[in-house]
Amino acid sequence: MHSAFATDVVIAGCGPAGAMLAAELRLHEVRVLVLEREIEPASFVRIVSLHVRSLELMAMRGLLDRLLENGRRRPLGGLFAALPAPAPTHLDSPYAYQLGIPQPVVVRLLEEHATALGAEVRRGRAVTGFAQDDAGVTVELDDGERLRARFLVGCDGARSTVRKRLGVGFPGEPARTETLMGEMEVGASPEEIAAKVGGAQRRFWLRPFGGGIYSVVVPAAEVGDRTRPPTLDDFRTQLRAVAGTDFGVHSPRWLSRFGDATRLAERYRVGRVLLAGDAAHIHPPIGGQGLNLGVQDAVNLGWKLAAHVHGRAPDALLDTYEAERRPVAADVLDNTRAQTELLSAEPGSQAVRRLLTELIGIEEVNRRLTEKITATGVRYDLGDGPVLLGRRLPDLDVAGGRLYGLLRHGRGLLLDRTARLRADGWSDRVDHLPDPTADLDAPCVLLRPDGHVAWIGDDQRDLDGHLARWFGPPTG
């Protein structure tokens, strides 16, 4: 540990990505300070979908039960552009469903998890700038205070100050359309609403929330000023334009707007400053992937950054964060572009939609598209090797329980059916489970703390090389 700094890592932004990253770093006793601009957590209740890979990660870290208590399980079918398809069979996960849950609840639970592990979160404090040198980063706050840390991570959302100050480009497409979204009371009867919503080809929707409150989503008239919240009159005008009635909407709880801009940061790391979550990638919310992607960035980055902080990381380890996660984000951007086309009313797009509706009846096509949205198909490029290399390992039955229960503390794991391999030099970072009965189609796998397969084999020298590659030199 480097005592010259009171803080190892400053995280700008306590959204889902920032809170998850703080918790992941705390698993490795990194001293973390999260600076969040807003005094109160966001009040508007956007229901988000957590998808299979995120649910798996939550199960791994012991958080899934708390999320399940606060959300609603929904079946997996129809995830890609709402094409009519059932859930594919053989998804190979006990968590093969989606969880609808308010985003502020996800943030609260992750923040509680991070603080319970020892992270400090300071609210009402915005990062306005920074300067980095060989030893660390000086972070500037909106009240003029300056803090020193070894690393700064920008988890400060789509308009990231950290990304802009870093001078990292954010190329892509600007918003072409905008959508109004809010919660309000409605004068029309449920029957009137059902008749209109059913016939309008997904151009708008009103979804009951209970207590007479509806979630209302309708296209905006134009791409407007995003800093100006929409008014109730904007909703009335647009509902009349697309539905022929404003449904008597009144008494809004909150009103918001979002666009379909699609952008990817040119770099995820410049020296001691990194980007994660929406600060690194934005895309339309279709398929419900942004939060999932950010949480998965955090789980990929946490253990690598921790190893650097503790001075035991192999040189190139931190660079694998961008090498692995940026292509995953690029793929998500592409699938949202494709889904947007499939939802267009243009004749060509409608023809492609009809064609894909036919093709998605083929199980393999359905599975491939579902794996894209749920992130269960992600394979990091770790070089040539068996099909499992670089992929997630499902939650297998192992001696004494299930695999994910062994990954709670964010350590590596050697799952060893040969029961003769050793990882003694890394026992402070990697657990060893000799288990000839493990339900595994390989002699031995080395799992990284994010649950991805780093090595497959049965040769001790080969294993030692890979332990050093991912976890640094042995101790003792």
Ligand X SMILES: Cc1cc2nc3c(=O)[nH]c(=O)nc-3n(C[C@H](O)[C@H](O)[C@H](O)COP(=O)(O)OP(=O)(O)OC[C@H]3O[C@@H](n4cnc5c(N)ncnc54)[C@H](O)[C@@H]3O)c2cc1C
Q: Which of 401, 395, 393 is nearest to 455 (CA)?
A: 393
Distance separating alpha carbons of residues 17 and 275, to the nearest angstrom = 10
Contacts 24+ apart (CB under 8 A), 194-203: 196/243, 196/244, 196/245, 196/247, 200/242, 200/243, 201/345, 202/82, 202/343, 203/242
Taking CB under 6 A as the rule, does residue 296 contact ligand X? Answer: no
Site for ligand X in 405-444 (CB under 6 A): none
Q: Measured at the alpha carbon of residue 121, what is the angle toward residues 118 and 123, in degrees to the nearest 5?
A: 165
Taking CB under 6 A as the rule, does residue 306 contact ligand X? Answer: no
CB of 420 to ligand X, least distance (A): 43
Pinpoint the alpha helices (H) of 244-346: 290-309, 319-342
Stretch near ligand X under the rule CB under 6 A, chosen from 86-94, 156-164, 182-190, 461-469: 156-164
Stretch near ligand X under the rule CB under 6 A, chosen from 32-40, 69-77, 332-340, 438-446: 32-40
Taking CB under 6 A as the rule, does residue 294 contact ligand X? Answer: yes
Taking CB under 6 A as the rule, does residue 182 contact ligand X? Answer: no
Q: Would you say 12 and 127 are in contact if contact means Cβ atoms under 8 Å apart?
A: yes
Site for ligand X in 115-154 (CB under 6 A): 126-127
Distance separating alpha carbons of residues 317 and 319, to the nearest angstrom = 5
CB of 157 to ligand X, least distance (A): 3
Taking CB under 6 A as the rule, does residue 161 contact ligand X? Answer: yes
List 35, 333, 398, 444, residue binding ligand X (CB under 6 A): 35
Stretch near ligand X under the rule CB under 6 A, chosen from 9-17, 307-315, 397-405, 451-459: 9-17
Taking CB under 6 A as the rule, does residue 213 contact ligand X? Answer: no
Taking CB under 6 A as the rule, does residue 243 contact ligand X? Answer: no
Distance separating alpha carbons of residues 37 and 103, to the nearest angstrom = 17
Q: Measured at the alpha carbon of residue 404, what is the angle toward residues 399 and 410, in degrees to the nearest 5?
A: 120
Site for ligand X in 47-106 (CB under 6 A): 48-49, 103
List 77, 78, 94, 288, residue binding ligand X (CB under 6 A): 288
Q: Which of 227, 228, 319 is nearest to 270 (CA)?
A: 319
Cβ-based nearer residue to ligand X, 219 or 443 = 219
Number of residues that bind ligand X (CB under 6 A): 32
List 93, 238, 292, 320, residue binding ligand X (CB under 6 A): 292
Which 3 state secondary structure label does DSSP give 172? strand
Cβ-based nearer residue to ligand X, 335 or 429 = 335
CB of 22 to ligand X, least distance (A): 11
Taking CB under 6 A as the rule, does residue 155 contact ligand X? Answer: yes
Cβ-based nearer residue to ligand X, 157 or 394 = 157
Q: Would you say 137 and 272 are in contact if contact means Cβ atoms under 8 Å apart?
A: yes
Taking CB under 6 A as the rule, does residue 15 contact ligand X? Answer: yes
Q: 116: which residues sit within 8 A by CB, 6+ positions away? A: none
CB of 115 to ligand X, least distance (A): 15
Taking CB under 6 A as the rule, does residue 395 contact ligand X? Answer: no
CB of 41 to ligand X, least distance (A): 8
Q: Which of 12, 61, 30 is nearest to 308 (CA)?
A: 30
Cβ-based nearer residue to ligand X, 216 or 444 = 216
CB of 46 to ligand X, least distance (A): 5
Q: Which of 99, 121, 118 is nearest to 108 (CA)?
A: 121
Q: End-to-end CA distance of the chain, in Å?
A: 18
Stretch near ligand X under the rule CB under 6 A, chosen from 31-39, 313-321, 395-403, 413-421: 31-39
Cβ-based nearer residue to ligand X, 36 or 435 = 36
CB of 368 to ligand X, least distance (A): 20
CB of 185 to ligand X, least distance (A): 20
Cβ-based nearer residue to ligand X, 256 or 427 = 256
Tokens 């998890």 correspond to 113
Q: Would you say 173 and 263 are in contact if contact means Cβ atoms under 8 Å apart?
A: yes
List 12, 59, 105, 328, residue binding ligand X (CB under 6 A): 12
Check residue 188 and give left, alpha or beta (phi > 0: left; psi -120 to 50: alpha).
Answer: beta
Tokens 């299979």 correspond to 52
φ/ψ of residue 141, rounded to 5: -105, 165
List 18, 88, 136, 302, residue binding ligand X (CB under 6 A): 18
DSSP annotation string for 380-412:
---SS--TTTTBBPP--EETTEEGGGGGTT--E
CB of 266 to ligand X, least distance (A): 17
Binding site for ligand X (CB under 6 A): 12-18, 35-38, 46, 48-49, 103, 126-127, 155-157, 161, 181, 258, 277-278, 285, 288-292, 294
